[in-house]
A and B are shown apart, each in its own frame.
Chain A
Amino acid sequence: AQSVAQPEDQVNVAEGNPLTVKCTYSVSGNPYLFWYVQYPNRGLQFLLKYITGDNLVKGSYGFEAEFNKSQTSFHLKKPSALVSDSALYFCAVRDPISGAGSYQLTFGKGTKLSVIP
């Protein structure tokens, strides 16, 4: 079964500083990995995904993520945090060869990012 771990419930970072939100995964095959952001009382917004190819993936709003197969990680990063980046971030995985269940997204518990002015 596929699973995702986000080890930090909350991350605080000063505005202008780089930010990292951590994610590790477990799947039986090669993973398809996604990051979503959720603002209060809003739906989930897609940020970026890793399917194959370059391990560094660039996404929306200046975010990027690095896929590391040996460490089974897919950490979300941004060089310079904005106050408006404050939100709940979810990492998600799909295992494309697991048969039944391969279309659903399995989410981590989420990490609350607070960017301090």
Chain B
Amino acid sequence: AQTVTQSQPEMSVQEAETVTLSCTYDTSENNYYLFWYKQPPSRQMILVIRQEAYKQQNATENRFSVNFQKAAKSFSLKISDSQLGDTAMYFCAFMSGNFNKFYFGSGTKLNVKP
């Protein structure tokens, strides 16, 4: 069975600094998708970044980038130049290649301090 593990329940970072959120997953599939979602207090789930497993190049979206290590089944999120608006819960998620399984980690609460 696929599982997604986020080992950091809560993290803090100073505004403008860089922080890395960890995520590991377990799967026997070769083709799949990985996601990072942000959930602010408004409860809305907001897609931050996605990575296709068949792509070796790490995905980047402005200040957000990932370190995808397929062999190690690791998918960490790096947030550069942290902003107060980045304060939220961050969820790592795994989707199977046939789209019928979507597993979320338990989340990391990120606090950006002024």
Q: Do A and B bind each other?
A: no
